[in-house]
Structure 1
Amino acid sequence: MSDAVFRETTAEPRTQSVPLSHVSLELGHLYMEDFEAGPERLGEHFAMVRPWVEAVRGTAAANGKRARVSTCFLIDDYFTRFSTPAELVPVLLAEAERHGLTIDYLARESGCAVADGIGIAEVVEHRLVESPPPGSDGSRPPAREIGWLANGERTPGVESLEAMANVPSWRPPTETAARRHSVFMDVELWDDLDQRRTWSCPFLAAVWQLARMGLLRYRGEPVLRPKPWPGKDFPRSWDDLPPLIQLNATAAPFCAYRTHSVLPSRFLPVEHAVRVILGQVEVDAVALGQIAERSAREGVSVPDGIADRAGYVFYPGP
């Protein structure tokens, strides 16, 4: 009797590809206090964003081809709930339009944690692959146990130093990929207060970047996919608004080879932390290969490093 096992090819999960723009351009990622400050604050933001939008579009089209650029905006409904979509979103869109800007896609930050019943943040957490610094002794617990991820080696604790022979009383932290001098960062990924996990802003922002790069998959299928939103009426509850909606029916694809974000300067440390996280996430290899193959056909240069696919402009502001 044969012991061969026959399996239908449809039983194997197939990694689906996604349509791609050249650039996903983020027009804002503001918190509820920004909206609470009123339309004037939103107008100030879009006034600062507008010149950089033109610059990004021009750079994306520099190869002589018509650039596919989609725009997006992220609203924080994860850490704080303020107002309602029915009250807030029309004001946001009106201020963007008043400054000559169109928001193609609107996302809720809570959708970077859970969307359509899928724990997206947890999926990314399971793909963390820490880069141990040279000479590390394994005394540091893994990120998945402690909820912290570093770009190098921490200063040893006092207890560790006392247990070691012939070592100085203090040793500085070191960045793994330092250029002569270190810029060390240790990023909190989540906390588990009252038996409830709350993902950190940098971790959710890293998920947001991966989604915009078209690199998020769950059982082979893309996640955080945009849903068309007809009309200009919005629900009274944030939970009734899909995690990611498409406001412009003629928009270029949401996902892109590269991302670019125009943000107030207070986001700089957050996005530094995002780069630390992106540098230690093992994304779907097939999805990476699909993007590499398509970019080669189009003659589009895409960096090998995931973090290097994200670009930023930080403007002075509150």
Structure 2
Amino acid sequence: MSEAVFQETTAEVRTQSLPLSHLSLELGHLYMEDFQAGPKRLAEHFAEVRVWVDAVHASLGRRSKRPRISTCFLVDDYFTRFSTPAELIPMVQKEAEKAGLVIDYLARESGCAVAGQIDLAESVMQRLVESPPPGSYGSRPPVSRTGWLANGQRTPSTSRSALGAVKGWEPPQETAARNHSVFMDVELWSEKEGRRLWSCPFLAAVWQLARLGLLRHLGEPVLVPQQWDGEDFPHDWDRLPPLIRLTDTKAPFSAYRTCTLMPNRFLAVEDAVRLILDQTDVDAGALKQVDKRSRDEGMPVPAAVAQRATYVFYEEPADSCATEGS
């Protein structure tokens, strides 16, 4: 005889689904130094991006007759505040339009830290699951204490044994190395003036999860786009929603896969992003929904979340490269 199981319905969290495009195509992820360089720098960026946008459309067109592609653009208002939305956003839209591009969605990078009442970066940090290196015994402090995330065993500190012998140097070791290790150790945050300052790679990882439709808070989607009604943009970044829709596109913001077009100086940052994604315990309900729907459309996604993110890195002219500020 089976025993009855009683459970409060409030304990069951239902994962709300999201509309999904086939691809989220990011047309820019620049620092304030890039905007400070003026319209000419933006024009150069969009002219280069346009070449690759055409290639991305052609590639996706081989797999779908009617591909759903949404475009987005991320503005760094987290590490520095330059100009205002009223001045900067129209300039970005104008230069994109000159290159024959349309930006459907625009996001503030600060929204990847806190979106409305949700401490988004903190909630993602709580979902990190470190990959324990072979032979480790828990001697390394957890990422929640150190703020550093690695993909393997760090170099042990040189120490003296009880008998006085000095232990020799040992190399770091990647957990999933193939023949040779490619070891990475990524800083997720620092402390500045008594508050936590999230790193660029960590916020970019949150951004990727949002674009992939995998962020939830108590089952509800977060960082959901708000339609901008066409009025003048505010003069204060904090008065602009974290994510806005600028066009009447029918293509949803989130997608099965992402493609990011950016200068090659961001390569190291995006390598770190993939390491973070590989060690994030993503909402199981969201994962299941995306997996089923992508399969039903004949465009199944890879099991590993990091493999759903692709990139095109272009080379900038030497005199146009901005100094990284984050």
| SS of match in other structure, 2:276 | helix
User: CA 1:162–1:53 in 2, change beyond 3 Å: closer, same or farther?
Assistant: farther
1:185 aligns to what?
184
| SS of match in other structure, 1:282 | coil
- Structure 2-normalised TM-score? 0.93
Q: Is it true that 1:72 corresponds to 2:72 in the alignment?
A: yes
> Shift of the alpha carbon at 1:226?
0.2
- Structure 1 distance, partners of 2:238, 2:252, is 24
2:121 aligns to what?
121
- Structure 2 distance, partners of 1:18, 1:40, is 37
- Structure 1 distance, partners of 2:278, 2:163, is 31
Instruction: State the aligned residue count.
Output: 315
1:260 aligns to what?
259
1:156 aligns to what?
156
2:222 aligns to what?
223
1:30-82 C-alpha deviation (Å, 9 max, x unpaired): 01000000000000000110011111111112124210000000000000000
> Shift of the alpha carbon at 1:194?
2.9
User: CA 1:163–1:56 in 2, change beyond 3 Å: closer, same or farther?
Assistant: farther
User: CA 1:292–1:5 in 2, change beyond 3 Å: closer, same or farther?
Assistant: closer
8 A Cα contact 1:104 1:251, kept in partner? no
- Structure 1 distance, partners of 2:261, 2:141, is 36
Q: Is it true that 1:101 corresponds to 2:101 in the alignment?
A: yes
- Structure 2 distance, partners of 1:134, 1:165, is 27
> Shift of the alpha carbon at 1:6?
6.0
> Shift of the alpha carbon at 1:193?
2.9
| SS of match in other structure, 2:107 | strand
Query: Structure 2: which amino acid aligns with 1:56?
Result: V
8 A Cα contact 1:106 1:246, kept in partner? yes
> Shift of the alpha carbon at 1:195?
2.1
Taking only the aligned residue pairs, the percentage that are identical comes to: 67
1:173 aligns to what?
172
Alignment gaps of 5+ in structure 1: none
- Structure 2 distance, partners of 1:7, 1:135, is 40
| SS of match in other structure, 1:209 | helix
Q: Is it true that 1:59 corresponds to 2:59 in the alignment?
A: yes
- Structure 1-normalised TM-score? 0.95
Moved over 3 A (4+): 4-11, 161-168
| SS of match in other structure, 2:196 | strand
1:101-153 C-alpha deviation (Å, 9 max, x unpaired): 00000000000000011000011000000000111232211111100000111
> Shift of the alpha carbon at 1:206?
0.2
- Structure 1 distance, partners of 2:6, 2:170, is 58
- Structure 1 distance, partners of 2:250, 2:228, is 12
User: CA 1:283–1:167 in 2, change beyond 3 Å: closer, same or farther?
Assistant: farther
- Structure 1 distance, partners of 2:150, 2:102, is 37
- Structure 2 distance, partners of 1:163, 1:61, is 66
User: CA 1:164–1:177 in 2, change beyond 3 Å: closer, same or farther?
Assistant: farther
User: CA 1:164–1:275 in 2, change beyond 3 Å: closer, same or farther?
Assistant: farther
